[in-house]
Amino acid sequence: MLFLLIFVICLVLQLFLPWWIIAPIVFCLAFWKARSAKKAFAVGFNAIFILWLIMGLVKTLPNENILANRVGQMLQLPDLSFNWMIVLLITGLVGGLASGLSALAGYYFKEALNQPR
């Protein structure tokens, strides 16, 4: 359930807002729904990793990977025919790490508030 909530809400909001909107959304959703730290990180990472890979494919395939190949050249990747795939994986990893760490922070924040005094 948490995976689907993160995926759909971030998909819709990233159409109108900057990329970093994933952090507060994932933080709040993990605060609300996450059951363990491991699952919070895994679900947060996987949801945005898959979302950004799909969105990258939707954006790059119609234009024959021109932009992704140019970004690969900027990153000084070797001149290979699959540079665009490497760029998409790097993009997915960056988004996945940002959202995974945000989900982990949301879960730990909930745990900190639930500690007895």
Helix, strand or coil for residue 44?
Answer: helix
Quick: pLDDT tens for 6-32.
Answer: 999 999 999 999 999 999 999 999 999
Q: Which tokens in the block code for residue 82?
A: 């699959």
pTM (two decimals):
0.89
The reported pLDDT for the residue numbered 115 is: 83
Count how many residues are written for the chain.
Answer: 117
